[in-house]
Amino acid sequence: MTRIFSGIKPTGHLTLGNYLGAVRRWVEVDQHRADALFCVVDLHALTVDHDPGRVRRLSRQAATLLLAAGLDPARCTVFVQSHVDEHARLSYLMECTATDGEMRRMIQYKEKAAREQQRGGSVRLSLLTYPALMAADILAYQADEVPVGDDQTQHVELARDLAVRFNQRYGHAFTVPRAVRPQVAARVMDLQDPTSKMGKSHAATAGIVYLLDEPDVIRRKVMRAVTDSGSGVAYEPDTRPGVANLLDILAACTGSSPEELAESYDSYGALKKDTAEAVVEVLRPLRERHGELCADPGQVDRVLREGAERARALARPTVDAAYSAIGLLPAL
């Protein structure tokens, strides 16, 4: 059976981008067709300035939202990365397999490091080595497929390269994984700045829809979305990114295509109104279920405990074998 692994970083409240670009597919498709693991990757949240209490709260909230969105612990494994030591253990071997140049070529590192330096801040070493930890996340479980949005494909490619290299040098230890991309709304853009991604780590703005936003807040954000000055509604992502983003979101919420939808609207106002309502309806059951789970914290605790146990049992033999293959003396 195909093994799937994916992760979500607790660096901010989950957004509509996370849902349409990743989580919804995990729920609707991946957990039914494969042996899937979904991980709140809290170690990755420490690669940038962070507040300990906030990371802890966001980790729990992310796990709760994954369950609220419909991940079913009877079908898949939901857990928190730091509960399973194997991630950090294998990450070190990945650092011993990757090169410095390879890490520095990562677009996300270059962008984040440049931004940090511009602000006069310092860059944590873990921001550079992040892809080694991400490769460990994936390879520890012998994952075949890694569902991620566009921005993460480069990191999955690197995990592939590291798996191949390790296997060649030390004997077969890892399945070579591949990135799989969702078909619609792979990249949801910020409603106020449709040329940049709707990201949960960004400062809160009116351009980001959070999964737990109240319906009225969602309506307000969508109605105020930046569009362009062209006339009529057309799907032209390069020249009219604001309208294209609304069409992508509406298409993802209603299961139609953005091109078709463009033909059925002639005003931005009507498009925004329908998009707002579609988003409110898609998120409504999720918000309700989240409320129920928060009222029963023992249930979330249990899911995370059992998830970590299962994950540990899967990862340990692989990581032990890799330790042995690379030349480390097994502990007796």
Return the amino acid letter for 191.
L
How far the first Cα of the chain sits from its last, in Å, is 33
Choose from ligand AMP, ligand TRP, none: what does 200 bind? Cβ within 5-8 Å by kind.
ligand AMP
Marked catalytic residue, from 9, 110, 200, 272: 200
Distance in angstroms (rounded) separating the CA atoms of residues 226 and 189: 11
Distance in angstroms (rounded) separating the CA atoms of residues 13 and 8: 11
149 binds ligand AMP (CB under 6 A): yes
Marked catalytic residue, from 9, 112, 221, 272: 112
Rg (CA), the chain: 21
Task: With beta carbons less than 8 A apart as the criterion, state whether 160 and 177 touch.
Answer: yes
Residue 183's nearest CA partner among 75, 29, 69 is 29
Distance in angstroms (rounded) separating the CA atoms of residues 165 and 162: 5
Instruction: Choose between 37 and 319: whose C-beta lies nearer to ligand AMP.
Output: 37
Residue 112 annotated in active site: yes
Marked catalytic residue, from 9, 197, 221, 272: 197
Residue 110 annotated in active site: no
Choose from ligand AMP, ligand TRP, none: what does 131 bind? Cβ within 5-8 Å by kind.
none
Residue that is written with structure tokens 């980001």 in the block? 208
Return the amino acid letter for 39.
C
Instruction: Choose between 155 and 290: whose C-beta lies nearer to ligand TRP.
Output: 155
Shortest distance (Å) from residue 262 CB to ligand TRP: 30
Per DSSP, what are the bridge partners of residue 320? none
Residues numbered 91-150 forming contacts with ligand TRP, rule: CB under 6 A: 134, 137-138, 146, 148
C-alpha separations of 294 from 70, 129, 229, 281, 287 in Å:
15, 35, 44, 21, 11
Instruction: Choose between 137 and 213: whose C-beta lies nearer to ligand TRP.
Output: 137
9 binds ligand AMP (CB under 6 A): yes
Site string for ligand TRP, 54-73 (x = CB under 6 A): --------------------
Spell out the alpha helix ranges (H) of 119-207.
Answer: 125-139, 153-170
Site string for ligand AMP, 261-300 (x = CB under 6 A): ----------------------------------------
160 binds ligand TRP (CB under 6 A): no
Q: Which residues are the active-site residues?
A: 112, 197, 200
Contact set with ligand AMP (CB under 6 A): 8-9, 17-18, 21-22, 148-149, 151-152, 186-188, 197-200
